[in-house]
Structure 1
Amino acid sequence: MRPVDNQIKEQLTRQLEEIGDQLDADVVAIFSPILPGLELSLRSAIEALSERKDSVAIILDTPGGVAEVVERMVTAIRFNYEEVIVIVPNTAMSAGTILALSADRIMMDHFSCLGPIDPQIEKDGKLVPALSYLDQFERLNQKAQTGQLTTAEYALLNKLDLGELYQFEQARELSIDLLIKWLTQYKFRTWQKTETQGIPVDEDMKMERARQIAALLNDPTRWRSHGRAIDMDTLRGEEIKLKIENFQDDPSLYKKVREYFGLLKDYMNREQHLSFVHSKEYF
């Protein structure tokens, strides 16, 4: 490793430790698409820690990926930690949104965003949003039933693979199921009374609220785009009503997170790293 790399490694690790000291938590950074193999790197980053605290803060930056990988990542995290904080300094899209919503606490700033939970499926070596295929099939199917298909649309409908469509439907259902499960089990576990009327909250109410949020985040007609950014104010607003902490309210933490994010992104760009997982004893 070059001397400059050693210096950057030491500085990044020092910054990570400072964030952990302020939050009284272990810290793991995940800057990566969520693809098979990432769960193994995450497990290694956690198990490399010689001593572990009860809480972990995940600094997450991801364009999204595969829901099945998120499921294994959450298994690794929850096996080792009682409390999970997810800090989103920039974006946590698609499967990254599912990962963020598995946390007990979510921290964002005015520029951070989550995204629709449109699952992605690997097709011809690329990740494609499943709901776009399902919506296209439904649109063409409705036109076929009314005899309005053009010749080009008929050819397109015949090219759609029913096996793939079933796979897309299963991916959509898995994303919804995971979000409902984790919101109810973790994000809502300390929710005892409704904020406006002070009504006691039971498990059925938590489950119903989780279903509503999952339906909203899984509605392509609501967001119009797989890559649509959903900011903190929207997530906190009357429609979704998620409790999100603004880490800008703590200037010291905000400065530490921004400096760490900037340095790591610069390092990844220079070294052309597309995926990076970091804990204080794993680099």
Structure 2
Amino acid sequence: MPTWNKVLQEITEKEKAGHQSVDLVRRAYLLKLNRHTKRNIIAYYSGWLTKPPQTPNMTIGDDDLNGFMSVVHALDRSRGLDLLLHTPGGDIAATEALVSYLWKMFDRDLRVIVPQLAMSAGTMVACAARTIVMGKQSSLGPIDPQLNGLPAQGVLEEFQVAIKQVEHEPASLPIWQAIIGKYHPTFLWECQQAIQWASQMVENWLANNMFAGRQTSVNDAKKVVEFLSNHDITKSHSRHISFDKCLEIGLNIELLENDNKFQDLVLTVHHAYMLTIAKTQTIKIIENHKGIALVTLSG
């Protein structure tokens, strides 16, 4: 496998020759991966790990659907789709629309490959696949919704704590009024609805694709979602959930290390995308194995 340094060296050598090096190297390895799997491949990469946190458009949003429409066009959809996913997550509604589109285009024949991180809404997309490919370095994340940067379940739990404490210690009321007063009047209701929406959506995806055909599909889906959405269990929205834990809770996981050639190709592609983001103003890439891409730049 070409390591990070070897991929960087290859990019540097092509730069000296006057080529668009990052594009050439990245697309060459993505095509090699396609030839190995004989499946359609779309890479979705965000630059959130290296770009300033205030940079816009690094999460899953409605604009992404235009990118997917562009890269899906002219693909042989009977060959299914492998989606390489590296994202911090994003908007629930946009995620729902994206999964609906991919299911329709590829008749639910979706495999999600997570070379490093697919967090939050990225984990939701992964749960819409038939299988998820993860390596020892890969992680998914909790799917508890965040509203205005706040964990919806955490907000509801805090409110329940406030009610109980005020009942037992009325003198604490002014303190809790200052805390709860920062929420607008319908915020608690919005938190409750967001939790139900995300949970029901992922349960449906799991039961009707990854667990389809099982007599226990609904219960299996509920078990997975109970773990991924429970703030009491995961403790933090940024919690990294490894492949062995994903297997333990019942997700259909393929271990990347089981196929050495496949592992080498996936990780080399990953290095190429991460170097593209690091060396350019790119903050997001949606690209297929034919070299058709929608690239979002900062500034």
The Cα shift of 1:241 comes to 2.3
Count of aligned positions: 263
Measured in 2, the distance between the counterparts of 1:185 and 1:136 equals 34
1:101-250 aligned at under 5 Å gives the runs 101-121=127-147, 123=148, 127-147=149-169, 149=172, 151-190=174-213, 201-202=214-215, 205-237=216-248, 240-250=249-259
Gap regions ≥5 residues in structure 2: 1-14, 47-58, 294-299
8 Å Cα contact 1:85-1:105 kept in structure 2: yes
2:84 to 46, 59, 65: 59
Structure 1 residues 152-180: Cα deviation after superposition (integer angstroms, max 9, x where no partner): 33211222223122222211111101111
8 Å Cα contact 2:220-2:250 kept in structure 1: no
Structure 1 residues 8-52: Cα deviation after superposition (integer angstroms, max 9, x where no partner): 2122122112212222211001113212312222222212x3544
The Cα shift of 1:229 comes to 0.4
Letter in 1 for 2:182: K
Counterpart of 2:122? 96
The Cα shift of 1:273 comes to 2.2
Measured in 2, the distance between the counterparts of 1:100 and 1:282 equals 23
Determine helix, strand or coil for the equivalent of 1:64: coil
Counterpart of 1:251? 260
- Compared CA separation, residues 119 and 254, structure 1 to 2 (3 A): same
8 Å Cα contact 2:141-2:239 kept in structure 1: yes
8 Å Cα contact 1:24-1:55 kept in structure 2: no
The Cα shift of 1:6 comes to 2.5
8 Å Cα contact 2:130-2:252 kept in structure 1: no
1:265-276 aligned at under 5 Å gives the runs 265-276=274-285
8 Å Cα contact 1:65-1:120 kept in structure 2: no
Measured in 2, the distance between the counterparts of 1:5 and 1:73 equals 34
1:68-83 aligned at under 5 Å gives the runs 68-82=93-107, 83=109
Letter in 1 for 2:267: R
Counterpart of 2:28? 14
Give TM-score scaled by structure 1 length: 0.86
Letter in 2 for 1:177: Q
Counterpart of 1:194? none
Measured in 2, the distance between the counterparts of 1:130 and 1:278 equals 33
Measured in 2, the distance between the counterparts of 1:8 and 1:44 equals 21
Give TM-score scaled by structure 2 length: 0.82
- Compared CA separation, residues 161 and 265, structure 1 to 2 (3 A): same
1:38 and 2:64 correspond: yes
Query: Cα RMSD between the aligned structures?
Result: 1.9
